[in-house]
Amino acid sequence: MPRSEEAASWYTMVYRAVREIPYGRVTSYGHIALLLGYREYNQVGMCLKYLPSATDQPDARYNSDTVPWQRVINSKGVISQRRVFCRTNGAANQERVLSAEGVEVGRGDLGERTVDFSSYGWFPNVLPSEEEEESREEEGV
């Protein structure tokens, strides 16, 4: 949970960026950081780790229903393992949600859950919202 205005701003930027990932596509923590002008890919993961559950905070502007957290995986195309202190397995849950979007989740040599970036990757040079904003500025809108 963010403790300062700067941290709250960072969380908001990450959540907004993740919301732009198209349905049925995935990107990496590092690419989200790059799109936001940072190198701290682990901080993107931290923001998603603390994304409120829609069950616990259904009225939150950003929660697990409004931010497609499942579309962010590591740079190797692997769904990161998590230490889960509850009954559900985070990586299995992420696989389930991605599969429901039509993303094929395979298995690597060590049994890790993998996604083929060449089929499902989303790696734009800029966020679509920034592209639209630049286009409007050029048109004088």
Average pLDDT over every residue of 65-80: 96
Query: Does 115 have pLDDT greater than 50?
Result: yes
pLDDT tens by residue, 7-48: 889 999 999 999 999 999 999 999 999 999 998 889 999 999
Can you give the three-state secondary structure of 21-85, one letter per residue? CCCCCEEEHHHHHHHCCCCCHHHHHHHHHCCCCCCCCCCCCCCCCCCCHHHEECCCCECCCCCCC
130 versus 137: which is more confidently predicted?
130
For the chain, the domain total comes to 1
Domain range spanning residue 128?
Answer: 5-139
